[in-house]
Amino acid sequence: MSSTRSAHRSVTYRVLKVVLMQWLSSVQATHGFQHSMVVHKHRYSHLRKFSYQMQSTTPVFKGISAAPVSNNIRFLHPIALLSPGTKSLPSDLAFESRDCLTLYNALRRTAGSSRVKHLAPEKVFAAQAGRLLTNREVIDYERKLKEFVEEELSLDGADDPESVISRTIAALGRDADLSHLEDPLPQQFKANLLPFILELHKNNELVLYMSAR
């Protein structure tokens, strides 16, 4: 996604939110109710992002037990999805706790330990040593990491492949081939659907939904 498309998406989202609020307010007013919008900016159940590496040729299905082990489902770090030229982070970009730690470790390697020493978890969470962190504390840490990333994005030459932020994005996206992130052709989707389900099953990640009626 280009920075222009990202900005367009952000503007479209804000416009739709205003239109939705106005519509809800008018509906409630028609029925004699006062409308108030409560906005929750943070998720307390994070959605971890993955991609599936489409296969050009798919093996013949010979049963679940005979299905080959594959590694086509790849984890996607949110920062790895930033495109060159991006000057700010999308407002809806969220990290879970492991994303924060992975990002810090990547920044420590690309920017140097001295530049990110104020973001070291052992320093940020020194007062919380010996107990589990709350989600609120992780969100505060996420905010500090984002501030550092946005400072790097705003620098002249940030889109240079050798800049700190470019090398960080590359490091976080190293395990996933992002070149394939495009809508598959119908026949390609159909051919890969069964291998995709089998890999989910092999990884014990296949969601089972049951509904009693």
Mean pLDDT across the stretch 37-66?
A: 77
pTM of the model: 0.71
pLDDT for residue 81? 87
- Model confidence at 1: pLDDT above 60: no
Lowest mean pLDDT of 14-23, 26-35, 93-102, 174-183, name the range.
174-183
Cα–Cα distances in angstroms (integers) from residue 3 to residues 77, 84, 162, 202, 208, in the given order: 18, 7, 19, 37, 37
Are 142 and 125 in contact by the 8 Å Cβ rule? The answer is no
What are 141's two structure tokens? 């840490």
Q: At what angle do helices 97-110 and 135-154 cross, to 10 degrees?
A: 40
- Model confidence at 9: pLDDT above 60: no
List beta partners, residue 75.
50
Count of Cβ atoms closer than 10 Å to residue 99 Cβ: 22
129-180 per-position pLDDT tens digit: 899 999 899 999 999 999 999 999 999 898 899 999 999 999 998 877 666 6
